[in-house]
Amino acid sequence: MNLRKVLILASTLCILANSANAKSVWINRLRSDFLNHSTSIYAINLRTFNANDKNENGIIEFDKGEWSGTFLNAINRLDELKQEKVTAIHLLPITPVGKMKALGTAGSLYATADFKSLNPQLKENNSKLTIEEQARKFITAAHDRGIAVIVDVPGFASYDMFLQRPELFVKDASGQPVIPLDWTDVRLLDAGTETRVNPDVLKLYKDYADYMMELGVDGIRVDVASAKPAKFWKELIDYTRKSDREFLWLAESSNSWNDTVSDKSVFTPYDKLLAAGFDGYYGSYFNLKTWTSAKDLQKQVNLDLSLSKKIGTPKSVIGSFTTHDELSPILEKGVEYSRMIMWLNATLPINAYAVDGFQTGDKYVYQWANKQAPKTYTDDDIYFVHKGKIDIFNFSRKPGGAYKELQEEYAHSNMLKTIANNIYKTGTFKFLKTNSDKVFAYAVYDNHQTILVIGNLDFNSEIIAKIRVPNIKKGQTGLPLIMQNSPEINNGNIVADLTPGEIQVILFNEFSLSKTAKNNIYGF
């Protein structure tokens, strides 16, 4: 596919999109933007975000003059994210990591050793600034570029923390702290129940939230939110909203997840978390890789669109197609899968989400993975890694893949999200009928513009699909944003020749479905 020919887009979208401009005074609007499905979130591990691996062997060797990512050197990549139209950064945990019973040679980001300080691994030692000052400088630099900052709060804590504060943890019959699932480097915190919240653990999280807000962050993503009672989260979220009504709370929870992390842990489902005050959750879009029917996508979107009415207050969702817990899309189904994810994120009524390295197709393959390490900074001398997933356990290379052609397309898809959001404000979202259960089609439209999206969920076979498009006339022209072959437009329908896994996106500037669309309509 010659993408450059069809993406006249580069200049056209720049004109149409209302890109975020740097502001002299930052005003947090993250929660409102999120509830309007308009954010493009980019998840980063600061420890690797701007690491310098001089000899390109994938691991950071400090004794050879290499360095890992820090708050300060991360600033150098913020202009790149701005150019890619990222509007919010999700920082994977920035708290200190445990060194005992650890996984990996640097320690898992999620095995926190302290909720009231920052990870010293992220400090630039050559600077006279304190680590808090360095963190504020990074956050301010992001804000100056129109980028909000979300931080991750770990759901559990390290063995190191248990030894210091054993009263905060759930214990088994022998008095040992409980290990959730097979996460052997963390222990289960005792948050209490729906009838009695543990005030000590609640205070721990309140102190963390205060600390983050003092640093200037705009929201919190909660790791394994279902492992604590709804009452716990309601008290915490209500507490922070007294300080900042725009402070975002995002739950790592999904309508697909129904299992508790331990028989000694509570399980709070996603809808009760949303009712407790969370603004959003993880829609089950990570299941796209296994969906073979367009009805699966339609069912998930319809569920998410019904949340606000069901809960009684505005709610939204992230497009969790790719996260730090998911296998690289390139390994899953190749470049076409990554491309589909980008444009679904841009056009569905969800918040776009991607993890560092996604836009260049990183396979997260590390040649030293799960081998013995010559040097370690924990009690684990194995380079522990989740195969095909971004490394969160070691001092490793900066994420980045070999598929550079995707990077420009990532920026274009994020630009289109701005246009789609403007249409959503006064317009409508509608699924369209097709002649194949493996082909999805939907439109986003107002009285003047229509974005038409068609996709083939069969990544092995070509499909010639017929899509029912009310009100469209033969000869109607639109701007092809992404496609291999131009579709045939007839009166009332479109015929699209879709290659395996192909997604097509067309922008019509003088065409709307509004006169005839009456079913399955959701206004925004």
Residue-wise DSSP of 229-298:
-HHHHHHHHHHHHTT-TT-EEEE---TT----S-TTS----HHHHHHTT--EEE-GGGGGGG--SHHHHH
Specify the pLDDT at position 87.
Answer: 97
Specify the pLDDT at position 509.
Answer: 86
Specify the pLDDT at position 515.
Answer: 60
Residue 516 CA to residue 364 CA, distance in Å, equals: 47
Residue 130 clears pLDDT 80, i.e. is over it = yes
Helix axes 9-16, 405-426, angle to 10 degrees: 30
Mean pLDDT along residues 77-93? 97
More confident residue, 426 or 304: 304
Residue 487 falls inside a structural domain: yes
End-to-end, the C-alpha distance of the chain in Å comes to 34
253 with 364, same domain: the answer is yes
Specify the pLDDT at position 14.
Answer: 52
pLDDT tens for each residue of 428-455 = 999 999 999 999 999 999 988 999 999 9
Residue 58, exposed/middle/buried by CB under 10 A (0-12, 13-18, 19+)? middle
Distances (CA, A) of 194 to 47, 90, 136: 36, 29, 36
Render the burial of 468-505: b for 16+ CB within 10 Å, e for the rest: ebbbbeeebebbbbbbbeebebeeebbebbbbebbbbb
pTM: predicted TM-score of the whole model, two decimal places: 0.93
Residue 116 falls inside a structural domain: yes
Beta bridge partner(s), residue 301: none
Render the burial of 423-454: b for 16+ CB within 10 Å, e for the rest: bbeebbbbbbebebebbbbbbbbbeebbbbbb
188 with 158, same domain: the answer is yes
Specify the pLDDT at position 12.
Answer: 52
- SS3 assignment, position 318: strand
Q: What is the DSSP letter of 169?
A: B
Specify the pLDDT at position 22.
Answer: 44
Mean pLDDT of the chain: 93
328 with 272, same domain: the answer is yes
Q: What is the DSSP letter of 176?
A: P
Q: For the chain, how big is the Rg over CA atoms in Å?
A: 23
Residue 517 clears pLDDT 50, i.e. is over it = no
401 with 473, same domain: the answer is no
Q: Which of 198-207, 361-370, 471-480 has the lowest mean pLDDT?
A: 471-480
Specify the pLDDT at position 400.
Answer: 96
Q: Are 204 and 115 in contact (CB under 8 A)?
A: yes
Specify the pLDDT at position 7.
Answer: 47
Residue 520 falls inside a structural domain: no
147 with 209, same domain: the answer is yes
Specify the pLDDT at position 447.
Answer: 86
Q: What are phi and psi of 28, to 5 degrees?
A: -70, 120
Q: What CATH number has the domain bearing residue 499? A: 2.60.40.1180
348 with 326, same domain: the answer is yes
More confident residue, 48 or 22: 48
Residue 412 clears pLDDT 80, i.e. is over it = yes
Residue 370 CA to residue 189 CA, distance in Å, equals: 28
Mean pLDDT along residues 286-293? 95
pLDDT tens for each residue of 209-233 = 999 999 999 999 999 999 999 999 9
Specify the pLDDT at position 524.
Answer: 27
Number of domains in the chain: 2
Residue 343 falls inside a structural domain: yes
138 with 174, same domain: the answer is yes
Residue 522 falls inside a structural domain: no
Residue 460 falls inside a structural domain: yes
Q: What are phi and psi of 218, to 5 degrees?
A: -110, -5
Residue 4 clears pLDDT 90, i.e. is over it = no
More confident residue, 478 or 107: 107
Helix axes 335-347, 405-426, angle to 10 degrees: 20
Which residues lie closer than 8 Å to 151 by C-beta, 6 or more apart?
Answer: 90, 91, 93, 94, 212, 217, 219, 220, 221
Residue 86 CA to residue 161 CA, distance in Å, equals: 35
Residue 26 CA to residue 29 CA, distance in Å, equals: 9
More confident residue, 180 or 483: 180
pLDDT tens for each residue of 227-272 = 999 999 999 999 999 999 999 999 999 999 999 999 999 999 999 9
Out of 425, 453, 479, pick the residue that ends a domain: 425
Specify the pLDDT at position 388.
Answer: 97
Residue 6, exposed/middle/buried by CB under 10 A (0-12, 13-18, 19+)? middle
318 with 449, same domain: the answer is no
155 with 28, same domain: the answer is yes
379 with 500, same domain: the answer is no
Residue 521 falls inside a structural domain: no
Residue 523 falls inside a structural domain: no
Mean pLDDT along residues 496-505? 97
Mean pLDDT along residues 351-365? 97
381 with 435, same domain: the answer is no
Here the tokens at position 181 are 């699932």
Distances (CA, A) of 215 to 24, 68, 140, 271: 18, 22, 9, 30
Out of 425, 458, 473, pick the residue that ends a domain: 425
Q: What CATH number has the domain bearing residue 322? A: 3.20.20.80
Q: Which of 1-15, 30-44, 279-293, 368-382 has the lowest mean pLDDT?
A: 1-15
What percentage of the chain has pLDDT greater than the value 90?
Answer: 86
Residue 20 clears pLDDT 50, i.e. is over it = no
- Kindly state the greatest CA–CA separation across the chain: 76
Specify the pLDDT at position 522.
Answer: 31
HSE-CB of 205 using CA atoms within 13 angstroms: 31
367 with 455, same domain: the answer is no
495: domain range?
427-515
Out of 396, 425, 454, pick the residue that ends a domain: 425
Residue 3 clears pLDDT 60, i.e. is over it = no
| CA nearest neighbour of 248 among 224, 284, 293, 212 | 212
Residue 8 clears pLDDT 70, i.e. is over it = no
Residue 23, exposed/middle/buried by CB under 10 A (0-12, 13-18, 19+)? exposed
